[in-house]
Amino acid sequence: MFDKILIANRGEIACRIMKTAHKLGMKTVAVYSEADVDALHVKKANEAVLIGAAPSEDSYLRGDRIIQAALDTGAQAIHPGYGFLSENPEFVEQVTKAGLVFIGPSATSIRKMGLKDEAKRLMEDANVPVVPGYHGENQAIDFLAAEAVNIGYPVLIKARAGGGGKGMRLVEDAVDFEDALASAQREGQASFGDPHVLIEKFISSPRHIEVQVFGDNHGNVVHLYERDCSLQRRHQKVIEEAPAPAMPADVRTVMTEAAIEAAKKINYQGAGTIEFIVDGSGPLRTDGFWFMEMNTRLQVEHPVTEAITGVDLVEWQLRIASGETLPLSQNEITMNGHAFEARIYAEDPQDDFKPSPGTVHNIKFAQDCRIDTGIQSGDAVSPFYDPMIAKITTHASERSNALAALVNGLDNSYCTGIRNNISFLSNLAQDQDFVDGAFDTGLIARKQEDLTTQVTPSLFDIMAAFLTLNPLDMSAPRLGWQLWGQTNHAYNMVFDDTLLEGIICFLGSQTINVKFKDQEITFNNVHIDSNCVTAKNDAANYSALISRHKDIATVKSGTSQFEFKMLDLLALGLDHTQDTGQIISPMTGVVTVVHVKDGQVVEKGTPLFAVEAMKMEHVVVAAENGEVKSVMCGVSDAVEQGQLLIQMVEADE
Ligand code: ADP
Ligand code: ADP
Ligand code: MG
Q: Which of 224-228, 536-540, 619-623 has the lowest mean pLDDT?
A: 619-623
Question: Which DSSP helix (H) or strand (E) runs through 44?
Answer: helix 40-44
Distance (angstroms) between ligand 3 centre and the Cα of 156 equals: 14
Q: Which atom of ligand 1 is nearest to the CA of 388?
A: 14
Q: Which atom of ligand 2 is nearest to the CA of 232?
A: 16
Q: How far apart are CA 444 and CA 425, in angstroms?
A: 10
Distance (angstroms) between ligand 1 centre and the Cα of 165 equals: 8
- Per-residue three-class SS string for 265-304: HCCCCEEEEEEEEEECCCCCCCCCEEEEEEECCCCCCHHH
Distance (angstroms) between ligand 1 centre and the Cα of 299 equals: 9
Structure confidence at residue 581 as a pLDDT band (50, 70, 90) = confident
Q: How far apart are CA 11 and CA 391, in angstroms?
A: 11
Region 594-608: mean pLDDT is 88
Who surrounds ion ligand 3 at CB < 5 A?
Answer: 275
- pLDDT at residue 623 tops 80: no
Q: What's the confidence (pLDDT) of residue 574?
A: 45
Q: Would you say the CB of residue 83 lies under 6 angstroms from ligand 1? A: yes
Q: Which residue has the higher pLDDT, 143 or 616?
A: 143
Q: What's the confidence (pLDDT) of residue 577?
A: 44
Q: Which residue has the higher pLDDT, 465 or 621?
A: 465
Q: What's the confidence (pLDDT) of residue 639?
A: 87
pLDDT digits (tens, 9 = 90+) for 480-505: 444 445 556 778 888 988 888 888 88
- pLDDT at residue 576 tops 60: no
Q: Which of 227-241, 422-436, 496-510 has the lowest mean pLDDT?
A: 496-510
pLDDT digits (tens, 9 = 90+) for 290-347: 999 999 999 999 999 999 999 999 999 999 999 999 999 999 999 999 999 999 999 9
Q: Which residue has the higher pLDDT, 573 or 543?
A: 543
Distance (angstroms) between ligand 1 centre and the Cα of 238 equals: 12
Q: What is 50-75 written as a DSSP string?
A: EEE-SSGGGTTT-HHHHHHHHHHHT-
- pLDDT at residue 115 tops 60: yes
Q: How far apart are CA 519 and CA 314, in angstroms?
A: 55
Region 548-560: mean pLDDT is 94
Distance (angstroms) between ligand 3 centre and the Cα of 16 equals: 22
Q: What's the confidence (pLDDT) of residue 461?
A: 97
Which of 117, 160, 168 has the most ligand 2 atoms within 8 A of CB, as the residue to mutate? 168
Q: Would you say the CB of residue 599 lies under 6 angstroms from ligand 1? A: no
Region 546-564: mean pLDDT is 94
Q: How far apart are CA 363 and CA 344, in angstroms?
A: 12
Region 158-182: mean pLDDT is 95
Distance (angstroms) between ligand 3 centre and the Cα of 208 equals: 9
Region 507-531: mean pLDDT is 90
599 by DSSP, 3-state: which?
A: coil
Which of 292, 294, 439, 444 has the most ligand 2 atoms within 8 A of CB, as the residue to mutate? 292
Contact between 536 and 397 (Cβ < 8 Å): no
Instruction: Write down the pTM of the prediction.
Output: 0.86
Q: Which residue has the higher pLDDT, 121 or 490?
A: 121
121 Ramachandran zone, left/alpha/beta (phi>0; psi -120 to 50): alpha
Q: Would you say the CB of residue 457 lies under 6 angstroms from ligand 2? A: no
Q: Would you say the CB of residue 35 lies under 6 angstroms from ligand 2? A: no
CA atoms within a 13 Å half-sphere pointing along the CA-CB vector of 355: 11
Q: What's the confidence (pLDDT) of residue 61?
A: 97
Q: What's the confidence (pLDDT) of residue 494?
A: 87
Q: What's the confidence (pLDDT) of residue 616?
A: 60
Q: Would you say the CB of residue 305 lies under 6 angstroms from ligand 2? A: no
Structure confidence at residue 410 as a pLDDT band (50, 70, 90) = very high
Q: What's the confidence (pLDDT) of residue 551?
A: 86
Nearest-CA residue for atom 21 of ligand 1: 164
297 in active site: yes
Q: What's the confidence (pLDDT) of residue 615?
A: 52
Q: Would you say the CB of residue 293 lies under 6 angstroms from ligand 2? A: yes
Q: How far apart are CA 26 and CA 18, in angstroms?
A: 9
Q: Would you say the CB of residue 163 lies under 6 angstroms from ligand 2? A: yes
Chain centroid to CA 149: how far?
41
Looking at all shown ligands, the one closest to residue 158's CA atom is 2
Q: What's the confidence (pLDDT) of residue 457?
A: 96
- Of the candidates 160, 207, 297, 343, the residue annotated as catalytic is 297
Q: Would you say the CB of residue 206 lies under 6 angstroms from ligand 2? A: yes
- pLDDT at residue 454 tops 90: no
Query: If you average pLDDT over each of 266-280, 555-569, 595-609, 637-651, which comes out highest?
Result: 266-280
Q: Would you say the CB of residue 177 lies under 6 angstroms from ligand 2? A: no
Q: What's the confidence (pLDDT) of residue 534?
A: 96
Q: Residues with Cβ < 8 Å from 364, sequence gap 6 or more?
A: 413, 414, 415, 531, 545, 547
